[in-house]
Every structure is written in C-alpha cells, then in structure tokens.
Structure 1
Amino acid sequence: MKILVCYPMKSLVKTYMPASTEVLVAESPEDFSRLVHLYQPDAAVIFSEMYMTPAWVWLPAIKSTLPKNAPLIIVPLFRDEAIIKQVAEELSLEGIYLLSAKLSQEEIRSKISLILGFIEESTGYITSENDGLVYALMSYGASGITTFCINYPILLAKQYPDKRIVVLDMNHAKPDLTRFFKLQQHQLALFRPDFLNIHTAIKRNWKSVCKQSVHMPNLYYAHAASKWKSWEITNMIAAFRKQFDYVYIDWGFCFPETEAMQRLVYTADRNLLFVRSDPFSIESSREWIGTWREKGVQCEVLLSHLDQGQPFRIGEDIALYGIVPRISESRLKESQRSNSVLVEEFFPPKLYISSLKEIAKAEYEVRRAVSG
C-alpha cells in the first residue's frame, strides 16, 4: 500500500505510522500536492497543523486531488477538529477519517493501523452463522434505557456465553452510556467512510473497534452517537448483524423522527419503547405505537418505574416486552458515583434484578421457539 503523509518533520513520521508500512513524506502542502500527482497514493495521512488556510479551502482541494477511493486520514489540532468535521459533513466529502485531537502518538498509530486494515490482517473477524437480532431502544426520556443497557446485556451474556453481544450508544442528545463505560475512544463515527457501502462495512473487524466488557468477554460496547444518514444506518446494522448475535441500540429520544431514526425502526428486528408507568406516559405511548402500526411497524413496550403493587393498564392490543420496577434515586446515584453495575453488586436491588431475569427468560423462550 502506497501511503503519503504530510507532516513537517520527516524523521518523526515513523512514530505515528504502523511499523510494517513504508510511507512517502511531504514536508509542505505544496510538496504534498506534487507527490499526489506523481505517485497517486492508495491512502493519505494529513496533519492539519500543515495548513494555514481555513479548512473549507484546503480540505476539498486535497480531496479532489487524491484518487477517488483513497482514504484520507486527518490528524487535527484541537482548534481545527470541529471545523474540519463541519466542512466534511456540509460538503459531503467521502472517505475522510477524522481522528480525535486528544490522541497520543501511540493511539494515533493504533487508529491508523485499524483504519488501513493492518490489525485486521492478523486477527481477522468471525461472522455469525445466522444474522444477529437487532433491538432499537427508544423513549420519551428518563425511562431507564441507560440503566437497562448497563445491566441487562450482562445477564444475557452470562446466559449465552457462546453468543456475541454488542451495545451501541446512539443517544446523540444524552450519551450517558458512553460516559458510564468511558467509550470516548471507541467511536463508530471515526469509521464513517466504511458505511458508504455494505461490502466495506462487513470487512471491518468491529470487535476490535468496540470496547470489551470487563465483566463478560462476549459483550462489547461502542459510542455511536452521530448525525447518521439513513443509508449509513442500513449498512451499519447489516455489518453488525454479521458479526454479533445480539445488537442493542440505545437510540434515546424517539423525537424528532429523523430519517435515520425511521430507517432504524424499519430495519430493527424488535422496536422497544421504554415507558414510565404513569397514565400520561402510557397514553402517549399508545398513540405513538398506533401511528407506527399504521406504517407497518410493530413496537413493544418496556414499562419502567413501576412501584410495588401499582396497577397498570397498557392495553391488550399493545405487546408488552417486560416490566421493571422503580429504583430509588439514591440507589441509582450511588451506582453512578461508584461506576457500579447493579447486576454485579454483592447486594443488588432484588426486584429489579428479578425483572431483568424474567425478561431474559422470555427472550430464551422466544429464541428457542424461533430456532425450534
């Protein structure tokens, strides 16, 4: 692979690049343009500190000179990161991988290796015999999706140790799952060019991109909050179906109903609407589910924050996925403060854990019925 790097000190370039690569270095923007025309590289790595003109000037100019399918990896300064991202999105520039300005030399080298496929050559990836199941988790807010995603997948991973499970935090407005599991360095948005087509997306080893759970080796997490296009959602889900048996997507708020959210709802195997067990929330959920039913989409309800002995009426025409009881605010705050997973605690909240186990049991029955 011919890689062209634009960096001010040629002697330091090797500290940023994978050890097995041979690169050509340009020490000025003018030299970079000249070498692009001469050698037509397979990939390019740009350090934004090389350019004194605004990103909306140099970025499209560079992209237009590179071969059409050559990936462009950008290592930005802090001051440049946001504007480069904005320019790439607004001009719809394809094939651009924008790294984080917070990365160390070693982390930059690791990301470049991952993007260009050098890590995958040695590890490869394993696909499921059958496509995995995709769950879209949505709510009107404060209905317990994050708590569910922290705890339930661990129970499921224990029940199915031979299954690969992944949880994606797509809550753009409130990425609490990312904060809890510290997923800032495991962002799918970095690999956005991979989702241009399904063939590229499937080739990536997504397990190496995600963060492996410290509790279960078959459980993974990733930060996936971004302003995705609908076709990116399609290719992302198709790729993750091939490499994982269960895919849980924390979408968060079910409004506004963007093109990406609609694509997710139509693509997922099961759409779960998390609903607080008060009359107003239940009635709103009935209307929302009814509207989607008219569009040919089936949604199930996970009823949350139910007090012990509290009656509820969700309606016979609404599919109930499960019920989870209320957890006291003080109990949740203590768990968040100590970064503790409830299902792994020595004295977990019994009613909540029992409800998750009931959901896992029902999941097992459904899975067995489908496979049998």
Structure 2
Amino acid sequence: MKTIVCYPVKSLVHTYMPMGCQVLVSESSADFYRLAKLYQPEAAVLFAEMFETPVWEWLPLARSTLDPQTPIVVVPLYQNESLIKEVVQKADLSGVYILSANLTQDEIRKGIGQILSLDDEADTAGPYEGRGMIYALMSHGGAGVTTFCINYPILLAKQNPDKQILVLDMNVHKQDLTRFFKLQQHQLSQFRPDLLDLRTARLRTWRKICKQSNQLPNLFYANATSNWRSMEISNLMSSLREQFDYIYIDWGYSFPETDAMQRLIYTADRNLLFVRSDPFSIEGAKEWIKSWGKRGVEYQVMLSHIDKGQNHRIGEGISVYGVVPRISDDRLRQSHRTHSVLVEEFLPPKPYVMSLQAIMETEKMVRGAVVC
C-alpha cells in the first residue's frame, strides 16, 4: 500500500510502519501537502507534532488534499489528542483514524497495520518478556521523594539479593539524587540515539552505564535527566523492564504536565504522589489525584512528615501507599552534607526505618498498597 508519512526523521519511519507499506516520507507539513497532491497515496500517517498551525486548520486541509476514500491515521500528542477527536467529530471528517497518545512504537505499528488491514510480519524484536516493576515517584515539592530513593532501595536490595534494582534521577529541576550518589558520569541521556528505536534500545546493556553500589551488587543508580520526548520515555522504560526487577524513578515535581511526564505516568506500574501531612498539601493532592483518576490513572499517596500520634487518613477514594515520619531538618542536612545514608547509620532514625520496612513487608506479602 502506497502510504505517505509525515514524520521529522526519515530514517526512523520504518520503525512505525507495518509490512506491506510502500512509504513516502515528508519531513515537514509543507512537504506533506505538496507530495500528497502530487502522488495521491492510498493512505496517510500524520504525526501531530509535525504541524505548527492549529489542528482545526491542518487536519481539514489534509483531508481535502487527499482522495475522500484515502484513510488518514493520526498519531497525536497527549496535549492535543482530545482536541483532534473534537475537530474530527465537529468537522465531520470521514476516514480519519486517531490512535491513542499512550502507545509505544510497537503498538503504533500494530495499530496502523490493523487500520490499513496489513499484517505486521516484521516484528523481529520478539515478544515482550520484561517483568520489571516501574515506580514513578512525584510530589508538589519538599515531600521526601529523594530521601526515599536514597534509603528504601537499600533495604529492598538487602532483602532481595536475587533482584536487580535501579534508581533513576529524572528530576530536571533539582538533581539531588545525582549529587548525593555522584552520578554525573552515569548519564543515560548520552545514549539517547538508542531510544529512537525500541529494538536498538533493547540491545543496550543499561546496567553497564549505571553506577553499581559498592556494598550491594544488585543495586544500581543513574542520572536520566533530559528533555525527553514521550516515545523515548516509552522505549527506555520498556528496555529497562527487561534488565531490572524494580525501577524507582525520582521524577520530582508533578508539574508542568509535559508529554514525557504523562507517558511515564501511563507506563508506570505504580504511581506514587509524595504528600506532606499538612492540610493544604493533602487537599491539593486529593484534587490532583482525582483529576488523574478521571483519565484512568490510579495514584497512591505516600504521606510524609508525619508527627507522632498524627492522624494519617486523608479521605475516601484515596489509597495511601505508606506513611513516613518527620525527620528533623538538621538530621537531613547532615545526611546530605556527609553523603550518609540514614538506614545505614550506626544509630538510624528508627521510626523512619520501621516505616520503610513496613512498606517493604506489605509489598512482599500482598504485592499491593499499604492501606492505612
């Protein structure tokens, strides 16, 4: 089937297309309109990121440029998926198919194949066998995400010496985890070209790039801060799942809601929002979690800075993954200044250690949330 594809990188178009497509690539929107008029293809695949004009302008124009019987497959971004659907409906654009913004490269290829009635026989990457669990950790700020990522994986690695554990610093605004573990020479973004194609990403041995713990050979750390594209996030997570059993991601702030952040949220097995235990933080978190619930995403709360005897129920419909007590600012500053891991200290803060152990034991027993 003669298919025109509007995508910025010509050499990568084949990774999205099923067998049976004779592809003509346009690397700009202007080029697409010119080639579409000239060759009148049998199908078109349009990546929404290629069009700079409003969707209510470019999509009707694309429809009118092609034969009315030519199917158009649109690959949207998170930020414009709903708008594209609205435009198609209100403008009554026939023959326009809209894929989900949540799809991986493989899923996009299969989706295009299904729409165009083409069998994808070129999937040589093999079936997905990764079983690693991805935990996406976020907060509205100052709620203990980095402290958790420093301490909890160590306890987890000790209890599960047969499991491979990875901790990623993806906080572009505040790379505390990178400074604490000195990860400046362990940057996954240096291998960004590998992530343009899932097959290539799977061939990379990612643990060789990571920093291995001196005491725990099954625990690894890396910096993964970058202005990622959503598809790169998808390919990175898919390949990491195949090489690690647990991946903990310090994403940092839960805003702005970029396409990359949204892709991570939809990809993760468990999304945890760290929330300070004051009323304003709790109310803000409840609204944020409910907004994601409407989009089909389950968020759980990690309630931090709990004082002794303080109530940690935050309301119906909100699952609490765990609670961690307050650690004094002086203790935290000393830990960060001396690069001392709290759970490894001679006299560790027992309430904090016990709270982490409780989370770990519950995960082990029921592989679910710690509901308080």
Q: Give TM-score scaled by structure 2 length.
A: 0.64
In the alignment, the residues of structure 1 paired with residue 363 and residue 217 of structure 2 have an alpha-carbon distance, to the nearest angstrom, of: 21
Q: Which residue of 2 aligns with 1:154?
A: 154
Q: Which moved more, 1:313-322 or 1:169-178?
A: 313-322
Letter in structure 1 aligned against 2:250: D
Q: What's 1:234 paired with? A: 234
User: Following superposition of structure 1 onto structure 2, how do residues 246-261 of structure 1 map, counting pairs within 5 Å?
Assistant: 246-261=246-261
**SS of corresponding position for 2:272:** strand
**Which residue pairs with 2:179 in the alignment?**
179
C-alpha contact 1:154 1:215 (8 A) present in aligned 2: no
Q: Counterpart of 2:169 in structure 1: which amino acid? A: D
Unaligned runs of 5+ in 2: 1-8, 13-127
> For residues 192 and 308 of structure 2, what CA distance do their matches in structure 1 show?
45
Q: What's the counterpart of residue 307 of structure 1?
A: 307
Write the deviation string for residues 158-210 of structure 1: whole angstroms up to 9, x where unpaired. Answer: 11100000001000000100000000000011000010011110110111000
Percent sequence identity over aligned pairs: 63
Q: How many Å separate the matches in 2 of 1:221 and 1:142?
A: 21
Indicate the residue corresponding to 1:352 in structure 2: 352
Shift of 1:215: 2.8
Q: Distance in 2 between matches of 1:236 and 1:196?
A: 9
> Matched residues in 2 for 1:298 and 1:156: separation?
24
Q: Is 2:330 the partner of 1:330?
A: yes
**Kept in 2: contact 1:167–1:222 (CA 8 A):** yes
SS at match of 2:207: helix
Inter-partner Cα distance in structure 2 for 1:225 and 1:130? 23
Shift in Å, 1:368:
9.3
Mapped to 2, the partners of 1:185 and 1:303 lie a distance apart of 33
Cross-structure match for 2:288? 288
Specify whether residues 192 and 143 from structure 1 end up closer, same or farther in structure 2 by C-alpha distance, changes over 3 A only. same
Aligned to 1:170: 170
On the 8 A contact 1:169/1:251 being kept in 2, the answer is yes
Q: Gapped runs of 5+ residues in structure 1?
A: 1-63, 70-127
The answer to whether the 8 A contact 1:300-1:321 is kept is yes
Distance, in Å, in 2 between the alignment partners of 1:312 and 1:321 is 11
CA distance in 2, matches of 1:206, 1:342: 28
Deviation at 1:337, TM superposition (A): 1.4
Instruction: Say if 1:136 and 1:270, in contact at 8 Å, map to a contact too.
Output: yes
SS of aligned partner of 2:216: coil
Counterparts of residues 1-372 of structure 1 (less than 5 Å)? 130-367=130-367
Cα distance in structure 1, aligned partners of 2:171 and 2:199: 26
Q: Post-superposition shift, 1:130? A: 4.7
Q: CA deviation at 1:68?
A: 6.0
What is the distance in 1 between the residues matched to 2:279 and 2:322? Answer: 17
SS at match of 2:347: coil
Output the amino acid matched with 2:261. M
Q: Which residue identity lines up with residue 194 of structure 1 in the other structure?
A: D
Q: Is the 8 A contact 2:362 2:368 kept in 1?
A: no
Runs of 4+ in 1 over 2 A off after TM superposition: 366-369
Provide the rounded CA distance (Å) in 1 between the counterparts of 2:236 and 2:11: 22
Partner of 1:357: helix, strand, or coil? helix
Aligned 8 A contact 1:146 1:176 in 2: yes
Equivalent-residue separation in structure 2 for 1:360 and 1:312 (angstroms): 19
SS of residue paired to 1:174: coil
